[in-house]
């Protein structure tokens, strides 16, 4: 069995204690994440602590890497490519607006591996530095995202052209965030006796100001993606266990439709039919 290598890099050179704390949390939550998800851990799990500026730069680079991968993999017209590039130029300001309210972000790195980028100042603004259960929740949540990516075995869900990749954008978001939300609640309940909720952590004035900006929550996964997705996963696990849920990582055809997001039982029945070969 391959041993997972955990790497936590303090690229700010100002938060060695936080890097050590996150490393300890990773080692603490990883066995539970593996057990409850019934998915293997990646060979390497990488977390990077960045300054806000470096975090914003990495977020922008990630968008451009997504487009480059789409261009390499898909048959796109010049008009389609130009439209996305124009959108990226227009949306270049987004990381400036969102960084104080993003506690962690897992993305494809320049070397092709998954990594989680964190701005420690965002953890300060979000109240996680004084809320141990919530910090565990965030680390577990982002670790699950790395596990999900590894479980997809190269299938690409992060794309500007979901239909060309045979996925539904909303369905992918609901499954990714709902599964991670469900898992982090399971992990923190085991560790602390009740599910942690980072939304209850004490927020700074800057966090509250950015969080109140009109439309700010439309710039990332919606609250509905977490809440509806968590209900979706909870229902599927109750009906058929993690084996049923984990079919979605093997084949994107099992991603929920708009109708199935609102009707988890219909989604469960469809996966069961495919899983059992009916």
- At 214, the pLDDT band (50, 70, 90 cuts) reads confident
Query: What is the reported pLDDT for 95?
Result: 85
The answer to whether 105 and 117 have CB atoms below 8 angstroms apart is yes
Compute the distance between CA of residue 115 and CA of residue 150 in angstroms, rounded to an integer: 11
Q: What percent of the chain shows pLDDT beyond 90?
A: 79
The whole-number pLDDT of residue 221 equals 67
- CA-to-CA distance for 278 and 273, rounded, in angstroms? 5
Reference 215, options 121, 103, 98; nearest CA is: 98
Segment 218-249, tens digit of pLDDT: 666 667 677 889 999 999 999 999 999 999 99
Instruction: Say if residue 130 is exposed, middle or buried (CB neighbours under 10 Å; 0-12, 13-18, 19+).
Output: exposed
What average pLDDT does the segment 151-157 reach? 83
* Residues forming a β-bridge with 106: 116
Residue 201's pLDDT is what? 97
pLDDT tens digits for range 100-111: 999 999 999 999
Q: What is the pTM assigned to this prediction?
A: 0.94
Determine the structural domain holding residue 62 and report its residue range: 5-275
Number of domains in the chain: 1
Report pLDDT for 278.
45
Average per-residue pLDDT for the chain:
92
Residue range 2-22: average pLDDT?
96
Higher pLDDT pick, 216 / 111? 111
């Amino acid at each position: 069995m391959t041993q997972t290598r955990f790497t936590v890099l303090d690229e700010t050179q100002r938060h060695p204690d936080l890097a050590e704390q996150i490393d300890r949390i990773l080692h603490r939550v990883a066995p539970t994440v593996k057990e409850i998800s019934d998915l293997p851990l990646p060979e390497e799990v990488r977390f990077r602590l960045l300054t806000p500026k470096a975090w914003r730069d990495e977020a922008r680079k990630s968008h451009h890497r997504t487009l480059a991968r789409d261009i390499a993999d898909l048959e796109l017209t010049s008009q389609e490519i130009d439209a996305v590039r124009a959108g990226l130029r227009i949306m270049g300001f987004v990381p400036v607006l969102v960084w104080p309210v993003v506690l962690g972000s897992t993305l494809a790195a320049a070397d092709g591996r998954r990594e989680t980028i964190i701005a420690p100042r965002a953890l300060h603004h979000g109240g996680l530095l004084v809320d141990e259960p919530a910090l565990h929740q965030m680390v577990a949540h982002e670790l699950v995202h790395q596990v999900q990516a590894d479980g997809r075995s190269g299938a690409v869900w992060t794309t500007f052209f979901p239909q060309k990749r045979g996925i539904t954008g909303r369905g992918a978001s609901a499954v990714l965030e709902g599964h991670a939300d469900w898992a982090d609640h399971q992990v923190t309940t085991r560790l602390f006796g009740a599910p942690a909720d980072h939304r209850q952590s004490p927020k700074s004035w800057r966090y509250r100001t950015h969080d109140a900006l009109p439309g700010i929550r439309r710039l990332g996964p919606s609250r509905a993606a977490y809440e509806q997705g968590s209900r979706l996963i909870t229902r599927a696990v109750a009906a058929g266990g993690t084996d049923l849920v984990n079919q979605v990582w093997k084949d994107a055809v099992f991603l929920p439709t708009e109708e199935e997001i609102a009707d988890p039982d219909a989604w469960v029945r469809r996966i069961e039919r495919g899983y059992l070969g009916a």
